[in-house]
Amino acid sequence: MKLKNTINILSKEVINQIAAGEVIQRPASIIKELVENAIDAQAENITILIKNGGKSLVQIIDDGVGMNAKDAKICFEKHTTSKIKTTSDIMEISTMGFRGEALASIASISEVELKTKTNQDEIGTMIIIDNSKIRKNQKIATSKGTSISVKNLFFNIPARKNFLKSDKVEMKHILETFIKLAISNHDIKFKLMNNNQIIYNLSKSNLKKRIIQLFGKKYNEKILPLKEHTSIVSISGFIGNPLDAKKTRGEQFLYVNNRFIKSQYLNHAVKNAMHNIIRPDQHPSYFIFLTVPTESIDINIHPNKTEIKFQDEQSIYQILKSTCKKAIGIANIIPSLDFTIEEAFEVPAHIQKSIPKEPKLTINKQFNPFERSSQINENNQLFKKLFQEDESKHIIENIMHIDENYALFTILIKNERILHLIEKRKALQRIIYEQIEEKLNKQTVLTQMLINPYNIEVNTLDMELLKENIGILNNLGYKINFISKTSLEIIGIPTKTENYNLKDLFEDFLEELKNKNTNINNKLISKIATQIAYQNSKTSDIFNIHNKESLKNIINSLLNCKTPFIGINGKPCVINIEPNTFFD
C-alpha cells in the first residue's frame, strides 16, 4: 500500500470505533458494561434479553434512577460519565472502571435504542443512535429506569463481525459474564432470557442463596463461610469443602472491592490452605470477596482486564490462606490444633499485628476417632510414605474383629509394626466407589438393557440441552431414546448401577448442564459411584466383611485405592494408632 503523505484527523466515528475495539469484543462485553451501568444506577431489578447469542440483540432493562432528556443525549458522547467529576475522584472510583466510554463505544458499532425516565420527570426520552449518529430523539411514555437495546453488533465493521463465534459459544461467554455479576450483586433481582426462554430468574437474596440459585442446592452443605477483618484486607464469602474438590477446575470466583479478578497467586493461597486435604490435581471451589483500601491496589482500569496489583500481596496471601484454614478447621475437616501451631510460624512477623484474634479452639473431649477427622493428615502422609515407597513389602497381620463395625489389624513394614483400626463398612464403600469410578472413567462399563424403559418428561429448553450433551451419558453406558419434543426414555444403564435413581441422574445432569459446568462427566461419575457404594455396601455380599480372610482382602484392596484412608463421606475409614503417643 502506498501511503499518502498527508495527515488526517480521524473522524469521531472512527475514533469511537477504535476505542470500541478495546471495550467491546463480543456480546458478553456489552452485557458487562450495561449491567454495570444498571447496577451503578441503583437498579433493584435487571432483565437481560438475548437473541442469537447476543449478535442480533442484547437488551438490558433496569428500574434504576434513569436519565433526564439532557443526560440521555450526551451519555453517548465519549468521556461522558456522571461518576467522575474531579481528579480527586479518580483514585476512589478508578477501580470500578468508570471511563465514560462504554456507551460511546457501543453506539459506534451497533444500533442502539435507549428509553429512559427519571423519577422526577413526567415523560421519558427515547434515542435511536447508530454509527455514533443520533437518528431519533423524542419524548415517550415509559416507566422509571432505563432500557437499552443493542442490535446488529458490528454491523458496520464486517471484519470484527466475522470474528464472532457461533451463537452457542457467544452464549457461553454471556453466561460466564452474567454469573460473575450475579454473584457479586446478590441483592439485585436478575432475569436472563435467551430467544424468549428463561435461563435464569434470580430473586433478591444473600450470597449463599445466590450461589445455590446459580449452582444448585448441593452447595447448601458444601460451602464453608469465610470471615476475617484486618487493616490490610477484609475477607468474606465461601470456600467449597475441600473434600468435595474436583479434578476439573470448579467454580472459582474472586472479587476485590466487588470487582471480579483473576489471580493465580491468590488461587494458590486457597489451594495451599487445603494442602494435604486435596490432591495436587484437585481444585477447590470458592466465592471470595476481598475488600482492600483503594489506594493499596493498582487495578488496570482497562475494562476487560481482570488482573490487579496489590501493594502488599504477600500479606494478603498469608491472611487469605489462614482465613481459609480457619474455615476448614472450624468445619473440623483438619485438626484445629495443627492449624494453630502451624499458623504461628507462618504469619510473617510484620503483619502479626494486623491479624486479629487467633481462632478459638474447642477440643472435643468425647474422643471418637471415627467422628473426628483429626487423623486424616497423619494417616495420609503415613500411608503414602509406607505404601508408595515399597508396596510389595507390607504384610497384613493380626486381624481382630471387634464388632459389626470395627476391626483391628497390624501392618508390618520394614520391621515396624503399625496398629490400625478400621471401620469395615466405610472401607468397603471406599473400595466400591473407586472401582465404579474407574470403570465409568475408563468407559469400560457394559450396558444393561432395561426390561421396562424409564420415561422422563422435560421442557423443550432442557430437551435441547440434553440432546446436545447426550454423549456424556452415552459414554457412561446409558442408552437413551428421544421420543418427542419433551419426552425421552432410558432403555439401557451401565451394569451394576441399577441402584442409581434415574430421576436423580437426569435432574443432576440438567442442573450441571444449565450451570455450564465443565466437569459434568466427573461430577456424574462421582455421584453415581457414591450412591452405588452406599447402596452396595449395605446389601452387598461381594465380601463377607466379617470373615477374617475376606477382611484381609478388603484391607488389601483398600490399600490399593487412590485415597485409602478416607471414607467417601470425607471422614476416616482407617486410622493408625501409635501406642507410644498415649503411654509415653
Q: Which positions lie near ligand ADP, rule CB under 6 A?
A: 33, 37-38, 41, 62, 64-67, 75, 80-83, 98-103, 146
Residue 164: name the closest of 28, 49, 34 by CA: 28
Q: Rank residues 18 and 483 by Cβ distance to ligand ADP and give the closer one.
A: 18
The least distance separating ligand ADP from the CB of residue 23, rounded to whole angstroms, comes to 9
Indicate which of ligand ADP, Mg ion, none lies near residue 67 (CB less than 5 to 8 Å, by partner kind).
ligand ADP
For residue 146, the minimal CB distance to ligand ADP (Å) is 4
Q: Which does 81 bind (CB under 5 to 8 A by kind): ligand ADP, Mg ion, none?
A: ligand ADP
Residue 523 has φ and ψ, to the nearest 5°, of -65, -45
**Alpha-carbon span 355 to 319, nearest angstrom:** 7
How many Cα atoms are found within 13 Å in the side-chain-facing hemisphere of 303? 24
DSSP secondary structure, 127-186, as one string: EEEETTEEEEEEEE---SEEEEEEESTTTT-HHHHHH---HHHHHHHHHHHHHHHHHHTT
Contact segment (CB under 5 A) with Mg ion among 14-22, 34-42, 265-273, 394-402 equals 34-42
Q: Shortest gap between Cβ of 437 and ligand ADP (angstroms)? A: 49
Contact indicator for 496, 436 with CB cutoff of 8 Å: yes
Query: Would you count residue 183 as binding Mg ion (CB under 5 A)?
Result: no
Q: Is residue 37 involved in binding Mg ion (CB under 5 A)?
A: yes
- Record the cell numbers describing residue 320, joined without a space: 487469605
Task: Output 150 or 445, the one with its CB closest to Mg ion.
Answer: 150
For ligand ADP, which residue has the nearest CB? Answer: 81
The nearer residue to Mg ion, 37 or 557, going by C-beta atoms, is: 37
State CA 486 to chain mean position distance: 30
Using the minimum distance from each CB to ligand ADP, give the nearer residue, 39 or 421: 39
- Shorter beta-carbon distance to Mg ion: residue 37 or 267: 37
Rounded to the nearest whole angstrom, what is the least distance from the CB of residue 164 to ligand ADP in the complex?
Answer: 22
Q: Which is nearer to ligand ADP, 75 or 411 (CB)?
A: 75
Residue whose CB is less far from ligand ADP, 38 or 112: 38
Which of Mg ion, ligand ADP, none is residue 426 near (CB under 5 to 8 Å by kind)?
A: none
CB contact at 8 A, 110 and 150: yes
Nearest approach, Cβ of residue 133 and ligand ADP (Å) = 17
CB 117 within 8 A of CB 62: no
Among ligand ADP, Mg ion, none, what binds residue 170 when CB lies within 5 to 8 Å by partner kind? none
Report in angstroms how near the CB of residue 80 gets to ligand ADP at its nearest: 5
Q: Which does 66 bind (CB under 5 to 8 A by kind): Mg ion, ligand ADP, none?
A: ligand ADP
**Which CA distances in Å does 412 have to 354, 393, 400, 409, 537?**
49, 8, 15, 10, 28
d(CA 67, CA 80): 13
CB of 43 to ligand ADP, least distance (A): 7
| Comparison of 100 and 453: residue with beta carbon closer to ligand ADP | 100
Q: Of the candidates 30, 35, 57, 102, which one interacts with Mg ion according to CB under 5 A?
A: 102
30 versus 431: smaller Cβ distance to Mg ion:
30
- Cell numbers found for residue 487: 419426552
Between CA 312 and CA 106 the distance in angstroms is 37
CA distance 380 to 388: 11
For 415-439, letters b (16+ CB in 10 Å) and e give: eeebebbbbbbbbbbbbbbbbbbeb
**Coil, helix or strand at residue 228:** strand
d(CA 169, CA 557): 44
Please, what is the minimum distance in Å from the beta carbon of residue 201 to ligand ADP?
Answer: 20
Binding site for Mg ion (CB under 5 A): 37, 102
